[in-house]
Amino acid sequence: MKTLPLLVALIGFPLLLKADEKTMKILDKAYIHALDKQYKQAIDKALPLLDSLALNDVKEIVLAHQILSLSFCETGNKEKAAEHLKALKAFSPNEDFRVFNLSQECQKLLAPAPTNTKSKKK
Number of domains in the chain: 1
pLDDT in tens, 83-121: 999 999 999 999 989 889 999 999 999 886 555 545 444
Residue 52 belongs to some domain of the structure: yes
Residue 24 belongs to some domain of the structure: yes
Residue 113 belongs to some domain of the structure: no
Residue 44 belongs to some domain of the structure: yes
- The pTM (predicted TM-score) of the whole model is 0.76
pLDDT in tens, 26-75: 999 999 999 999 999 999 999 999 999 998 889 999 999 999 999 999 99
The pLDDT value given to residue 1: 47
Question: What are all long-range contacts of 85-94, with beta carbons under 8 Å and residues at least 24 apart?
Answer: 85/109, 85/110, 88/62, 91/58, 91/61, 91/62, 91/65, 92/58, 92/62
Residues with Cβ within 8 Å of residue 68, at least 6 apart in sequence: 42, 43, 46, 47, 50, 80, 81, 84
The pLDDT value given to residue 115: 53
What's the domain range around 83?
A: 20-92
The pLDDT value given to residue 111: 80
pLDDT classification of 122: cutoffs 50, 70, 90: very low
Residue 35 belongs to some domain of the structure: yes
Residue 74 belongs to some domain of the structure: yes
Decide: helix, strand or coil at residue 97.
coil
Residue 99 belongs to some domain of the structure: no
